[in-house]
Structure 1
Amino acid sequence: MKHPNASARLALVALPALALSACSQMGPAPAGGPTGVAKGAALQQCETLAASFRHDQTAIDSATVVASGTLRLGGHEHSRPLPQGAAPAQPTGGNPVAEHCLVKGAMHKRKGSDGRDYAIGFEMRLPKAWNGRFYYQGNGGLDGAVRPAEGALGGGPLTSALMQGFAVISSDAGHSGPQTPYFGLEAQSRLDYGYQAVAKLTPMAKALIATAYGKGPDRSYLGGCSNGGRHAMVEAARGQAYDGYLIGAPGYRLPNAALAQLWGAQQWAPLAVPGATTQHPLNPTAKIPDLSGAFTKAERKLVADALLAKCDALDGAKDGLVQATQACQTSFKLATDVPTCTGDRNGQCLSAAQKTVIANVFAGGRTTDGQAIYSAFPVDPGLVGDNWGLWKFANSVALDPLSVGTVFSVPPGMFDPLKVDISARLPMFSATNDVYRESGLSLMTPPGNDNPVNVAKLKDRGVKMVIYHGVADAIFSAEDTRQWMLRLDKAMGGKADSFVRFFPVPGMAHCSGGLSTDQFDLLSPLVKWVEQGQAPQAVVATARGVGNPGGANAEVPAEWAPNRSRPLCAYPTVATYKGSGNVEDAASFSRK
């Protein structure tokens, strides 16, 4: 399933200096050494913070004690946009969170150039039993709402940064209200969303912690998935104010990914059912073109089954999960491994036109003069999942046009996503004018993508990064993240794994879900790496079948054990079946 020019991107490429060490829980201490274990402190004040805390351009609206069990870790998705006008839901069910102090406030209140009121809204949760660490929770989508500052980890999480004793902050990144990107028409609001809100909130949060506990944090961590992962990757390149970064499905080239979605929508449209519409994903009263008929659920299952037939056993076990991702990219051939229709489409074959479009969409799209729009995507059976279809067929015409038109382009302006000139739109991401003095690419992406030397500077002071990405992610490509890792490794002379580890998650959709074992904790290994020098090589990831206390994943196949577990291995190691033992148990797998 490859564009003619995508072979190099999809070929099996191993980091030359990353040793294929055993997929064991921890590896040896890296060069540079740990930074020292954080030490906790007692919470000295809570309700009085509203009056006692002072920081430039900061207003504390309230500070209240939250009793143990009042907040429960509910596993809601931080990467998912909220419906118009909706407020973030307080979690219900799940594990109870211990007593903590909830502080709400705002920074940099101002009147925008559009006459609207703006501020960087935030909340901080300060645990009574504090571990001496600070966690900045990067939120997903277009931000715009202060989500509960839990520091949730993995799909349907059983733990979180807050539950582990971190002080956690969450923000709206400088704009609030209905989850739409019209804030992007206001120049400063664009900049806050891109990177300045994190830069402004970070010193304030550390000062608030110092006031509440009588000491500042010994170690600081920044994490998030999707746009939250982008926030983390951008701060790692720009501000470098943290000791550890937990980066999930990073949309570090978000403008390019969104434009590739528009390009894909135009490819799907001629194959879709003419005139078909569906409900807007964020506005229940609005309709959008329904593109799902271009590649139906049955046809996606046909391709997923073909992928499993070709690639499932590459990791030693035929278990409905392709863990040898890179090997599969060279083994699977869409043109020959899936039947081509000789008559009408019937769900048991793909038309020649479909095969061309699918291959081109997976290649990331190109302008009319051959310039790549975005990265190639790895093929994975998770394409049969509902989240994959939502991003490709609905969000591509409902969400991506808004962000491309109002946040990333100079000058901004709306358009018909199925008619816009994609080739003319791409240069607008690099443009500036007297109003928008920083381009969309500059404010949204980490400096030095092609040669990430800025991130390389983190190594010298013991900073660590752990990155995870669902292989079946339909909006941000796991291949794009892998290529970033390769570029970093080249810039580091083959020593990227001394401070960065990348964990692909087979079958996982965008941030969570899919045909996957998506419940895992990578924060604890990151802390051990930063503070004790123990480099993570693998963690145990589990499926969220029926009865999972963190919330069930409806797409876990019925033939899997509901608590199936697998080693989640650092690239380029692959979890491989030992040849004996329970195929549902991670203990039956080792590296290859």
Structure 2
Amino acid sequence: MEDMFKDAQIMGGTITNIQIVSTGDFTLPDGRIITDLPAFCRVVVNLKPTPQSDIHVEVWLPHEIWNGRFLGTGNGGGAGFINYTPLAFGLRRGYATANTDLGTSPNANTLIGQPERWADFGHRATHEMTVAAKQIIRLFYERPASYSYFIGCSTGGQQALMEAQRYPSDYNGIIAGAPANNRTHLHTGFLWNFKAMNQLPGRTTLTKEQIDLVTNTAVRQNQGKDGGAPGDNFLTDPRKCNFDPDTIPNCYGEDNNYGITSEQLSALKQVYAGPTNPRTGERIYTPLPYGSENCAGGLELQQDPEKLPQSLLYMFKWVFGADFDYSKFDFDRDLDTLNEILAPILNANNPDLNEMKEFGGKILMYTGLSDPLVPYQDALHYYERVVQAQGSLAQTQEFFRFFLVPGMGHCGGGPGLNDIGLGVFRSVVQDSEHDVFTALVEWVEHGKAPDTIIATAFKDSFAPNGISFQRPIYPYPKLPEYVSGDPNLPSSYQGVEYERGGVLKPAERYLI
């Protein structure tokens, strides 16, 4: 097997390891074991498109079950590691599959003063991974892949849209989940929320119980009023939520152990207002969605003085140094500095997707309506800008469709629907009606555009626990509306066109 790659010339890179895995189990570098895998060849590559670059890539090549296709997969957060979960996902489905650490190993916080590696993270590593993986596939199978696909969520969603915008011929089909494509402004939103909740340390932060109270108050006031079933503990359309934070129980009464204080309420209102330029009043980014506050990645993380700076504020360190004082960030001048340096290489905000459309490529984008980490509003506004660039919704839907998922948190989980076919475990048949990836393949290879996908809520977001309920989702602007019958069955809902837009829009200067 090594002889097959002995004389391989990987553009800008080197094959550093080749491993044959035939037992069905694979031990990860950290000692964890992935089971139930088909036999495959693991190829490890180091890529250096620039002298400063240090991009790690793995390509997994199934021996006997290869379906003739290639699958590129995304990472998460600041990356800095190979994401093995999507590698296993693709391999089990018969795809030659690749993943990259985006060139940020061992940790995104360490890349201070390394602008080429910022560019690798922003867009170059994904493209270089794709080029290298296609070369390796051709060598291993002695023929190229017939089709190429990409799946990613969060940072992976940003990778997906960056591919569509910058490298439109890399992939025939792309799935962009909860895309963090408006990167510098998304992270400015994290800093805004962090500062709001920590302006009076120990007095403005909320306990987990208080965060639950906030979410439960918002949802309870709007149950059954936005198209969802009467007993839903999540919002089907948060845009219809007329939530007044002043209605949250307060601590002024006799039972001062229940509710929130006036100081906490003031901080929460700043979070709901979202980041704006203090000098001009221009909107920088969208606010936290109502009903998402207690989901994973919500207020508990975004107010944490240890976890948030370490996990989500790395790009401020890149520009302002390791000793940057977040409390003194100027949302006017400092943001201009951040954008001048990073926006051109990190942000995937360009709505012109004509090259990918002309190439024949297809895009499916999805986002959870209970996602506090990458709010659905930004993806919705991006999609509307693509519609404007294309001239109409109908022309856009010829190659790009967008699904809003009620009750889904960040890339999954959440109080409502938590799976659209991309879970590691599957107890639902993999067909184009239940599985968004299969739907994409059907669209690309057979011209069948997806009009409905049956999304699933697994108990505790874990497929082996069984199905809690299912519900159809539809291309935007349609949402599922409860009609009658058992609210757990998809047949009890119909697709209804809801209003277009309806979200707070950043100023043009913050869409670069």
* Alpha-carbon distance, 1:497 to partner: 1.6
Q: Measure, in 1, the Cα distance between the counterparts of 2:22 and 2:450.
A: 34
Work out which of the residue numbers 36, 39, 54 in structure 2 matches 1:119: 54
Shift of 1:412: 4.4
Contact kept? 1:265, 1:418, Cα under 8 Å: no
Q: What are structure 2's unaligned runs of at least 5 residues?
A: 422-435, 497-512
My pick for the range that moved more, 501-510 or 103-112, is 103-112
Match of 1:374 among 266, 270, 285: 285
Give 2:363's aligned residue: 465
Q: Which segments of 5 or more consecutive residues in structure 1 lack a partner in the other structure? A: 1-45, 73-85, 113-117, 153-159, 275-292, 432-438, 553-560
**Letter in structure 1 aligned against 2:331:** I
Alignment of 1:160-171 (within 5 A): 160-171=89-100
Q: TM-score, normalised by structure 2?
A: 0.85
Cα distance change, pair 359–572 in 1 and its aligned pair in 2 (3 A): farther
For 2:212 and 2:248, the matched residues in 1 are separated by 11
**Deviation for aligned residue 1:490:** 1.2
- 1:413: how far off? 5.2
Alignment of 1:423-442 (within 5 A): 423-431=332-340, 439-442=341-344
Please tell me whether the aligned partners of residues 60 and 87 of structure 2 are also in contact (alpha carbons under 8 angstroms): no
Q: Say yes or no: does 1:97 pair with 2:37.
A: yes
Secondary structure of 1:399's match? helix
For 2:25, the equivalent position in structure 1 comes to: 70
Report Cα offsets for 1:31-50 as digits up to 9, x if no partner.
Answer: xxxxxxxxxxxxxxx44333
Do the aligned residues in 2 keep the contact of 1:103 with 1:124 (CA within 8 Å)?
Answer: yes
Aligned residue in 1 for 2:507: none
**2:474 paired with 1:545:** no
Instruction: Report the equivalent of 2:183.
Output: 254
Report the Cα distance in structure 2 between the residues aligned to 1:304 and 1:149, rounded to whole angstroms.
31
1:443 aligns to what? 345
Q: Which has the higher contact order (CA 8 A, sep 6+)?
A: 1
Amino acid across the alignment from 1:543? A
Task: State the identity as a percent.
Answer: 25
| CA deviation vs aligned residue, 1:233-274 (integer Å, no higher than 9, x gap) | 111111112111111111101211112211222111135416
How far does residue 186 in structure 1 lie from its aligned partner after superposition? 1.1
The TM-score normalised by the length of structure 1 is: 0.74
Tell me whether 1:311 sits opposite 2:266 in the alignment: no
Q: Is the 8 A contact 1:149 1:169 kept in 2?
A: no
Aligned to 1:404: 316
Could you say if the C-alpha distance between residues 401 and 58 of structure 1 is closer, same or farther in structure 2, counting changes exceeding 3 Å? closer
Asked if residue 183 in structure 1 is aligned to residue 123 in structure 2, the reply is no
Alpha-carbon contact 2:248-2:260 (below 8 Å) kept: yes
State which of 564, 570, 582 in structure 1 corresponds to 2:469. 564
Would the aligned equivalents of 2:206 and 2:300 in 1 still touch at CA under 8 Å?
A: no
Preserved contact between residue 184 and residue 190 of structure 1 (Cα < 8 Å): no
1:501-520 correspondence runs (5 A) = 501-520=401-420
DSSP-derived class of the 2:92 partner: coil
Q: Give the CA deviation at 1:532.
A: 1.0
Aligned 1:300-339 pairs, distance under 5 A: 300-314=211-225, 315-325=227-237, 328-335=238-245, 337-339=247-249
Contact 1:546 1:562 in 2 (8 A): no
87 and 319 in structure 1: CA distance in 2 versus 1, 3 angstrom threshold: farther
The residue number in structure 2 matching 1:273 is 202
Q: Aligned ranges for residues 206-221 of structure 1 at < 5 Å?
A: 206-221=134-149
- Using the alignment, how far apart are the partners of 2:19 and 2:443 within structure 1? 34
Aligned residue runs from structure 1 range 483-522, under 5 A: 483-494=381-392, 495-521=395-421, 522=436
Q: Which residue of 2 aligns with 1:80?
A: none
Match of 2:101 in 1: 172
- Other-structure match for 1:43: none
Match of 2:329 among 420, 423, 431: 420
The correspondence of residues 33-48 of structure 1 with structure 2, limited to 5 A, is 46-48=1-3
Aligned position for 2:372 = 474
- Displacement, 1:474? 2.0
Aligned residues: 474
Q: Is the 8 A contact 1:230 1:251 kept in 2?
A: yes
Change (3 A) 1:254 1:414: farther
